[in-house]
Chain A
Amino acid sequence: RKEVEQDPGPFNVPEGATVAFNCTYSNSASQSFFWYRQDCRKEPKLLMSVYSSGNEDGRFTAQLNRASQYISLLIRDSKLSDSATYLCVVTRLGGFKTIFGAGTRLFVKA
């Protein structure tokens, strides 16, 4: 079993839809949590950090449930430009060993 697991996808949604991605992690000593976005044949880029209190950035909302070891990302009012792979990322205590999920591919269609 992988240390960070994500919905396999792909998700195919129309513009304007709300889509939610889930991620679970197995190492309870995990310290920090992130969502990265990766466009086709490009490098990953930070989308947002994830906190237990939840955080929102425009149309994007991320949540962390430490008890369930579960992370989520909600995208509201999907745009064509949201089409990408979304990577769930966890760092170990100490802050440097970084574990990526396999990613969930999102296609937003007109």
Chain B
Amino acid sequence: GAGVSQSPRYKVAKRGQDVALRCDPISGHVSLFWYQQALGQGPEFLTYFQNEAQLDKSGLPSDRFFAERPEGSVSTLKIQRTQQEDSAVYLCASSPPRWETQYFGPGTRLLVL
């Protein structure tokens, strides 16, 4: 079956623009995670959804970052008024019920100029 997909794969934004990053998890996966990965670092946890409920958003770096998963499947990570420090790879991962292995999408590479 299909894995986790993310779009766009690459995004260049001017500082101050809003961006929206999409994640399509594996069908039937209850859990969905967003991470931010800077160059040379490990992924940093941003937020977690269980179905449509956002159970943890403690990793979102500022109130410019917002995530939603309204129907418990596709998720969108929105960054408002992008800053240069937002440049990173944004990874989405999903996992099935009662299973901790996370399956990652290919990521969206965001460059803010």
Interfacial residues, chain A to chain B (CB-CB below 8 A): 4, 32, 34, 42-46, 49, 87, 91, 95-103
- In the complex, chain B residues 24-60 whose Cβ is within 8 Å of any chain A Cβ: 31, 33, 35, 40-45, 48, 50, 55-56, 58-59
Residues in A neighbouring B58, C-beta threshold 8 A: 97
**Total A-B Cβ pairs within 8 A:** 48
**In the complex the two chains form, is A43's CB within 8 Å of B105's CB?**
yes
Given contacts A95-B100, A97-B48, A97-B58, contact A102 B42 (CB under 8 A): yes
How many B residues face the partner with a CB closer than 8 A?
Answer: 23
Cβ contacts A to B, 16 pairs, < 8 Å: A34-B101, A46-B102, A49-B100, A91-B100, A96-B31, A96-B33, A96-B48, A96-B50, A96-B55, A97-B56, A98-B33, A98-B45, A100-B35, A100-B45, A102-B40, A103-B42
Given contacts A32-B100, A97-B48, contact A87 B105 (CB under 8 A): no
